[in-house]
A = this chain, B = another copy of it.
């Protein structure tokens, strides 16, 4: 609730809040910025320079400023960390909020986590921040700082689930892409191989998922037969969904996240929804 009807009497009472006390927390955002590079899932990480977890990799992020929402803070941090110019059009999905009291040994920090999907992978030029940001392969990550292993695993779960029933896969692709590239998004995130003809049939049968580029343009870059180019459509949901094959365990192993630091929540499918 927003109104402090309950008298949880601690801390100072701020101005205009005479009868009700509260405990001030620091509120931050954490970003799981994902992209596909050379057919592998990559994550944007920064190397920590201070204790705790000095030298460890961590998700980029920062404090929510007094005048901005968590979404605005996430977008600002995304621009700062990646050095991108037009983060305005990027899809930013709120994952969940991590609030374990001991997740930061220094003080009480509540963090709102977001996931962002980038089409290509421009090398991040540290936009003024301390440690340099860098793309690292999702599969080859040591333990991250804080509870960032779990945040990243949650992000991966959520994105994998949303691929099933939404059209966000195009967010990983450049403005014009082939169906093979789109299929590779699914294959990389899910860690499974998909049948190209069946995938094609499904995508083209879903109105608004993709639309062909008018000029009969074809990409003749790599090996094999040149593929037709498509653009992202206007639809954002996938009815019926494109379910991942149930008979396989994902070979793309998530980073080590042994301790469930937060409780009482289902991972995602939600994605299936959710």
List residues of chain A with CB under 8 Å of any chain B CB.
1-6, 8, 10, 14, 16-17, 22-31, 46, 48-50, 52-53, 58-72, 74-75, 77, 80, 91-94, 96-97, 99-101, 103-104, 106-112, 129-131, 145-148, 158, 161-162, 164-166, 236-237, 239-241, 243, 246, 262-266, 268-274
- Find chain B residues with CB under 8 A from A91 CB: 266
Known: A1-B29, A17-B106, A270-B274. A112 touches B130 (CB 8 A): no
Query: Assuming the A-B contacts A270-B272, A272-B164, A274-B269, are A30 and B1 also in contact, with contact meaning beta carbons closer than 8 angstroms in the complex?
Result: yes
The residues of B that contact A62 with a CB separation of less than 8 Å are 1, 4-6, 8
Interface majority SS (helix, strand, loop, mixed), chain A: loop
- Decide yes or no: A112 and B129 within 8 Å by CB, A63-B23, A166-B269, A272-B165 being known contacts: no
Contacts of A236 in B (CB 8 A): 266
User: How far, in Å, is A99 (CB) from chain B's closest CB?
Assistant: 4
**CA distance in complex: A234, B237 (Å):** 29
Closest partner residue, chain B, to A164 (CB atom): B273
Complex alpha-carbon distance, A23 and B23, angstroms: 13
* Interchain CA distance A162-B109 in the complex, whole Å: 30
The reply to whether B269 and A237 contact each other, CB–CB distance below 8 Å, is: yes
Given contacts A66-B108, A97-B70, contact A165 B273 (CB under 8 A): yes
**Residues B243 and A5 in contact, CB atoms below 8 Å apart:** no
Q: How far is the CA of A219 from the CA of B107 in the complex (A)?
A: 55
B5 engages A49 (CB within 8 Å): yes
